[in-house]
Amino acid sequence: MTTATAPPAVDSVEPDAVPPPARGRRGIPRWVWVLVVLAGWVAVWSVSKGTHTLFLSGTDQTDFHARLSDRVSSYSSNPVTEVIADFINAIVDFLRELIAIPTPPRPAPAVGWLGVVAIATWIGYAIANWRIALLVAGSFLSFGLFGYWEDSMDLLIVTSVSVAFAVVIGFPLAVWIAISPRAGRWITLGLDLLQTMPTFVYLMFVFVLFGIGAPTAVVCTLAYALPPIVRISGFGIRDVSPATIEATNSLGQTTPQRLLKVQIPMARRTIIVGLNQTILAALSMAIVASYINGPGLGKPVLAALTENDFGAGLVPGLLIVVMGIMLDRTTTAASERSERVSRGGGEDPRRRRLVLGVLLVPVAVAVWYSRYAIDAAKFPETSWARSVADTANSWMESFTSAVDTAAGTFSDAISYGLLNPMQSLLAESPWWLSFAALLLLAVVIGGRRAVVPAVLCLTGLYLLDLWHDAMIVLNMTLVATLLVMVLALVLGVWMGRSRTVDLVIRPVLDAGQTIPAFVYLIPVLALFGPTRFTAIVAAVVYAAPAAIKLVADGIRGVPDVVIEAGRSTGSTTWQEITKVQLPMARGSLVLATNQGLLYVLSMVVIGGLVGAGALGYDVIYGLAHSDYAGKGLAAGLSIVLLGIMIDRVMRAAADRAGAGELQRQPRTGGRWWR
């Protein structure tokens, strides 16, 4: 019989006898491999630049482009699109005759401006509070006082119809991608296609299928406004705490019960952000809709731009901003109130219903009076708009003269320090060198998951016969996205950590996102001239607000318990931001980068109008000349492929970094392609 020997006590073990923890060999950092690829690229470029770049001038096209032009011209309206167009026309015409345009023999709409203002104010109070009711009333009155009542109502109708369709179509898709990763991959691919393809490109197809007018405006607006609500709402539903999901599973809830009772209510804030982004995206299509005779405020803006009258374009442009702020604040306040009521807060429901019922009496009186009194049916004419326009023109002349030197210095610094060297490397390299180098960079940065998208997108760019132009756009896109994310991190963190800062900056962001790019292109052109930098500035102004809001939302969403735990350990503000808030908001940062990139790409065509050339010019030229429609389509598809490639590489890199952050386990022979 053997006797078991007790293990020695811990205190009796020699310190030197305790083996050190195993450490795996650390692999070479990714940034080193990036430098290696760039060094090799530059070395080969230095002896081969200017050869096999596949350069194609703006008026040249290949046989492939000619065949595409023939195919585009072969499409025409069909019974399905005619039914859809008639349905949209019926809705829009009914609403326009109700609140916007005269209905003969009446010289005014069925409900005059006084009745519309009264109804809108009552709705603002019913779904939110008195402050929102006053905001709604002031916004509607401004539409009339500046002489744009009919155009404003037209834009509100087109936007409301488009957003309604976007919600009906988009929210089920958001739920689907939240519960099914496989469906999410395919749906996200379609969203990338919609969001990155320039609106002028699918405007060509929509015009062929639906003709001109309201149906084309609604369909184009819907296509552009759909992705934000699907992406952002899907992210919010999917990002609900796994611990909460496990708790609901342990109670035996079904998937529909979990969605309706847990995930969707907990993602309410993010869903509202998605709805707001959809509304603002729809409003930003006002000018594009005016190109195909779509009703709304885009028409006076476009007319002013053709006359190079900044002030005349500014007034309706600012009214678009006012409408965007009104809709944004109303939806946000309505969401906050419903959440507060669901938790048992807010005022007494019976008293509120009584107040709403009493307020219906003056609303009904206002509607009745607006049908029988011409002064309450049609807004009286004023000179406010012209006065503001003249003041704006005078101020703009003074401003451009004062900052002309500083603006030129900044433009030169970015152009010569960043844009020109990168463009020389990307566009003046032989196409096969750029292809190989970009593929290697995609693999180094994103790992194996980035290989297939990079290969497919780069191959597609080559086959579309616009490689040189695509490299120029890639260069501008990378620079603009970098500037967008710098602004997003600085301002987003600031807003997320301070409610006061958020209240001050958010209206500015709403203005930047909703004011038509064509309006602020006039002063930007005056400052920088028709150059690539002008296009980059326009893209940054348009893309930064969405990215900043998403970063701020992610920072604000970090639990207070986690923040307090960090502060209790003596963390500084910088450590709290970099070690706690930004890592925990990683999902929002990735989404902000994704949205910033896609918004930048959506401005490529407008960049082509202000001297950027390349793919943007190709799209515009193809839209204006039917013989070159194929080249315009190829340019639009090239923009889409660029967006998908960069997006997939960034997503793969973020997932790779997140996995490494979670695991933190020793690795042997860490390879850069994992």
259-317 pLDDT, tens per residue?
A: 887 788 888 878 888 888 888 888 878 777 777 777 888 888 878 777 777 788 888 88
Lowest-confidence segment of 242-256, 393-407, 571-585 by average pLDDT? 242-256
Mean pLDDT of 470-493: 88
Determine the number of helices (DSSP H) and then strands (DSSP E) in the chain.
33, 0
Q: Which residue has the higher pLDDT, 574 or 594?
A: 574
Handedness of CA 206, 211, 214, 215 (dihedral sign): negative
In the predicted model, is pLDDT for residue 422 greater than 70?
A: yes
Q: Which residue has the higher pLDDT, 540 or 612?
A: 540
Q: What is the pLDDT of residue 76?
A: 63
Mean pLDDT of 548-553: 87
User: Which amino acid is it at 413?
Assistant: A
- Cβ contacts of residue 16 below 8 Å, gap of 6+? none
Q: What is the pLDDT of residue 39?
A: 92
Q: Which helix (H) or strand (E) holds 35?
A: helix 30-48
Q: Which residue has the higher pLDDT, 571 or 8?
A: 571
What percent of the chain stands above pLDDT 70? Answer: 87
The DSSP secondary-structure symbol of 533 reads: H
Mean pLDDT of 525-542: 77
Alpha-carbon gap, residue 321 to 544, rounded angstroms: 16
User: Which amino acid is it at 518?
Assistant: F
In the predicted model, is pLDDT for residue 502 greater than 60?
A: yes
Q: Taking a C-beta distance cutoff of 8 angstroms, is the pair 303, 222 a contact?
A: no
In the predicted model, is pLDDT for residue 494 greater than 80?
A: yes
Mean pLDDT of 445-455: 87
Alpha-carbon gap, residue 553 to 121, rounded angstroms: 29
Q: Which residue has the higher pLDDT, 343 or 658?
A: 343
- Cβ contacts of residue 427 below 8 Å, gap of 6+? 53, 468, 471, 472, 475
Average pLDDT, the chain: 81
What percent of the chain stands above pLDDT 90? Answer: 18
pTM score, whole prediction: 0.68
Lowest-confidence segment of 235-244, 519-528, 529-538 by average pLDDT? 519-528
Mean pLDDT of 78-99: 89
Alpha-carbon gap, residue 110 to 147, rounded angstroms: 19
Task: Identify the residue whose tokens are 């048992």.
Answer: 344
